[in-house]
Structure 1
Amino acid sequence: MAADYIIKDLEVWSQNIEQLVSKNGLDCYEQQFEICSYEDMLCYEAYVGMPSHYPHWSYGKAYERQKTFYSYNLTGLPYEMVINSDPCIGYLMRDNTLLLQILTIAHVYGHNDFFKNNRMFKENTRAELTVEMFKTHASRVRDYIADPSIGAQKVERILDAAHSLRFQVRRQGEGKPPTKQELAKEKPEEIPDRLKSDLLWFLSERGKLANWERDLINIVREETFYFMPQVETKIMNEGWASYWHYNLLNELNLPQGLHFEFLQRHNLVVRPHEGRINPYFIGFKIFEYLDKKYGRDKIFEIRSQERDASFLRRYINQELCDEMNLFTYKVRGIDIVVDEVADEDGWRAIRDELANAAGLGMVPEIKPCSIENGVLILEHVYDGRELEMNYAKETIKYVAELWGGKIDLKTKLNNKNKIIRCTEDKIVSVWDE
């Protein structure tokens, strides 16, 4: 248990940070902090930060994997974890140093402001209902597991399928529920507009499912809309929080020893990663650049209106590409070769590739197209990137599980139109269209 004097110190530092948050114009939900052990942090990380969540084997797997890695010093734990809720809940790990707690508190306030003001979160989530929603979902799932006529195995089968398709939903937010008049006009063999961009919703309504199975799918779908803004704004969100922890701690007039550790910790957070993108680094550098170039009012406006794809496409320029040493590469045989560098011709290609891969850009979009003699026809929205076939073949089996019949998925492979077909017996094959 944390010493009392440390708790008192944290209360003082938290109050000082809160005053600076208000002074700098950040607009936050009420903020609450909980101090937890590393075991608790492992649990929160496995259960995506929620104090209550429905049981599923994948969460236990994530916990055991992270615990093993941590035990062998193969990975660290997050300095903080924060929930988009009202009040906003932040977890502080007890083993953190005093400075790390101070930095984390400031970082959490940056996330809090982003949650409350970014349009993706405003349009897709209701922060005041977040914790209650997850508790309600957990209770319903546990009731189904406890039901002798259903049980854990049947629940797991549906959740496995729904999890595999969780991001095949409407990408601009949840569509409006249909009126009774609209439902009456819909024909069984037709796919209404409201379902054409939402495969999971379509399957929950039209699949051969029991009511409890539909409910499980809708639970996964509803929670997906909670997480989608976080997926779509990872670079902005972490960059904004890093930008503010850096500026707030510089205003705190930290003692020399704490200030030296602050610089070390901050540099560890926002350093570039070898071979992959560090969202803290990219987001921090862009917001720092924009503040110097346009001022605070502009970055507050950007924080409110953009998501990663538009943020990167609009505000990365040649100067930033060069400063961050960004480049693209290709695999040729056994070699990896640099494709584009941040020169006058190449920086736009780098910017576009980064923007295209942001958020849900890396998730293939699959739409229900039509129903022909009981066969569900799906279409892959092809953008030049092919499906990863091993993954596609396994995922289409889950679609067939929820549909309750045959599936044809139209796509392109090697610039040729193909159909990935799944039978009722989950046998998958690939055909020329």
Structure 2
Amino acid sequence: MSKLLFEGPEWTFELLGQAHDAIEEIALNELGLDVYPNQIEIISSEQMLDAYSAVGMPLMYQHWSYGKRFARDEALYRAGRQGLAYEIVINSNPCISYNMEENTMAMQTLVMAHAAFGHNHFFKNNYLFQQWTDAAGIHDYLAFAKNFVANCEERYGVEAVEEILDAAHALQSQGVFRYGRPPRPSKEELQAMQRQRDGYESQQSVLELWADNMGHRDNDATAEDGELSQRRGKMNLPQENLLYFLEKHSPVLKSWQRELLRIVRYIAQYMYPQKQTKVMNEGCATFTHYYIINRLLEKGLISEGSYMEMMHSHTNVVLQPEYDDPRYGGLNPYALGFAMMQDIRRICEDPTEEDREWFPDIAGNPDWKSVMRDAWANYRDESFILQFLSPHLMRKFKLFMLSDDAKQPNLVVSNIHNRQGYRNIRAALARSYDLAYLEPDIQVDDADLSGDRELKLTHSVRDGINLDPENRDEVLRHLKRLWGYDVSLTARDSASSSRISHASTAA
């Protein structure tokens, strides 16, 4: 009698259950994975497009930008110019995986191993997701957000709601806490939030808000400095999270508008760990499915034909096009992540002298699975690359480093494959995944509610890379809509603090 889990391309829910159990046996008992309970949903291509448009989140509130994205992706998909993912997985408890109904049984098996166990384990165990997300509460919060936005549209009008959401979306990358958690709200603040969510409108006037922030003004410079220091201390300035600051201190926003800002920044914060772990997360999931499908073949649970179908998909996923290939778009996070996971296993099982020199703590360690789980739990992309990228892999990927000095007429190859070159290349590649370096450092510097009420921002410019003026001015207009008064942005060099540019919404 055949031991195969399935024999043809057609899937049934019974076959999916059998495959899931076989995958789970390998994932938990051999790889030692620790996962949330799985909930696997089978959806159509249209539903997958819908999930795409709403940044992969279920129960997402409505916004015109999601519909625009849906229309674009659907047109490309129907024209054969864009494919769809085989699955989408949600960081939640239970962990929800959406699998395409068009998948063959072999592909359903592959994506279950990839998402329901690889991504699932990473979501549950990586420190960023543990510290910054609430997997058990995300479904309830999204349901609340969807209903709250819909109720606001009905009560205040679609245009009024979209105006706030448009501004909040424009600022959502600056609506996260990068270095520390927000102050924990007091009992009174929590009760106030609940009243807002229940439909209670605060009757506190703008004048009362100003009065709360007004103090004795003195013409003496020392008194002004003291007042500035006191004002900044009261508002916890400087503040990196612009949406949080606006939610707490905007003189003009109503309570329902503040709640909309809170919804956008909460979801932005929830997604922030995924932006920091793209290489690791996909590397973990790809390594997991690769290990599992090979073990299924070794145990005689899948046919060679099914295995070849899975490997064909796997090979496409981890393809790294050459720099002169039309498909090249930088380093493929699947390719780099999977290669680094495979390399860690190689260093543990069959290290070279070079490996022993560069990785003395793990080279020759027979328990490579434990090393892998520790890496998945305790690193993000930047630190993972800085710690584990080996000279062997740098040679395999043919990495080198160019220096672009504005004072020189030509690019210079500054680092190649030698001892110091490896370290410099690894450090430069790691920094390219550091969001603190990639995203602009913009902070609220001052806001005098008892004076001109201008919101003053400072942008710390790194390596001379300033903001695009057109985009900057558009975002400042969104800021002004949420603040109610003029907004200015001063760009200063991060090293010297010298002023580079200044922009303001003032006429």
For normalisation by structure 2, the TM-score amounts to 0.77
Computed over aligned residues only, the root mean square deviation of the Cα atoms, in angstroms, reads 2.7
Count of residue pairs brought into register by the alignment: 419
In the alignment, the residues of structure 2 paired with residue 418 and residue 95 of structure 1 have an alpha-carbon distance, to the nearest angstrom, of 54
Matched residue of 1:326: which SS? coil
In the alignment, the residues of structure 2 paired with residue 292 and residue 237 of structure 1 have an alpha-carbon distance, to the nearest angstrom, of 20
In the alignment, the residues of structure 2 paired with residue 119 and residue 98 of structure 1 have an alpha-carbon distance, to the nearest angstrom, of 34
Identity %: 33
Matches within 5 A, 1:101-250: 101-108=108-115, 109-147=117-155, 150-168=156-174, 169-179=176-186, 187=213, 189-190=231-232, 192-193=235-236, 196-207=239-250, 208-250=252-294
Is the Cα contact below 8 Å between 1:53 and 1:134 reproduced in 2? yes
User: What amino acid maps onto 1:270 in structure 2?
Assistant: V
Where does residue 313 of structure 1 map in the other structure? 386
In the alignment, the residues of structure 1 paired with residue 403 and residue 432 of structure 2 have an alpha-carbon distance, to the nearest angstrom, of 15
Q: Does 1:284 align with 2:338?
A: yes
Q: Which among 42, 48, 51 is matched to residue 49 of structure 2?
A: 42
Q: Does 1:343 align with 2:350?
A: no
Matched residue of 1:193: which SS? coil
Contiguous gaps of at least 5 residues in structure 2: 1-8, 190-208, 215-230, 322-327, 348-361, 363-367
Q: Does 1:59 align with 2:66?
A: yes
Greater Rg, structure 1 or structure 2?
Answer: 2
Contiguous gaps of at least 5 residues in structure 1: 428-433
Matched residue of 1:175: which SS? coil
Is the Cα contact below 8 Å between 1:29 and 1:116 reproduced in 2? yes
Q: Deviations over 1:372-403 (max 9, x none)?
A: 53222111132223223332222122122211
Q: Does 1:357 align with 2:432?
A: yes
Cα–Cα, structure 1 residues 324 and 409, in superposed 2: closer, same or farther, change >3 Å? same
Where does residue 94 of structure 2 map in the other structure? 87
Matched residue of 2:330: which SS? coil
Where does residue 14 of structure 2 map in the other structure? 8
C-alpha displacement of 1:368: 0.5
In the alignment, the residues of structure 1 paired with residue 26 and residue 480 of structure 2 have an alpha-carbon distance, to the nearest angstrom, of 54
Matched residue of 1:370: which SS? strand
Q: Does 1:18 align with 2:18?
A: no
Where does residue 473 of structure 2 map in the other structure? 393
Matched residue of 2:232: which SS? coil
Q: Does 1:423 align with 2:505?
A: yes
User: What amino acid maps onto 1:423 in structure 2?
Assistant: T
Matched residue of 1:167: which SS? helix
Matches within 5 A, 1:250-261: 250-253=294-297, 254-261=302-309
Cα–Cα, structure 1 residues 163 and 336, in superposed 2: closer, same or farther, change >3 Å? farther
Is the Cα contact below 8 Å between 2:401 and 2:416 reproduced in 1? no
Between stretches 87-96 and 267-276, larger displacement belongs to: 267-276
User: What amino acid maps onto 1:251 in structure 2?
Assistant: R
For normalisation by structure 1, the TM-score amounts to 0.89
Is the Cα contact below 8 Å between 2:43 and 2:99 reproduced in 1? yes
In the alignment, the residues of structure 2 paired with residue 387 and residue 313 of structure 1 have an alpha-carbon distance, to the nearest angstrom, of 28
Cα–Cα, structure 1 residues 331 and 156, in superposed 2: closer, same or farther, change >3 Å? farther
Where does residue 482 of structure 2 map in the other structure? 402
Is the Cα contact below 8 Å between 1:174 and 1:225 reproduced in 2? no
In the alignment, the residues of structure 2 paired with residue 352 and residue 36 of structure 1 have an alpha-carbon distance, to the nearest angstrom, of 42
Is the Cα contact below 8 Å between 1:123 and 1:173 reproduced in 2? no
Is the Cα contact below 8 Å between 2:402 and 2:415 reproduced in 1? no
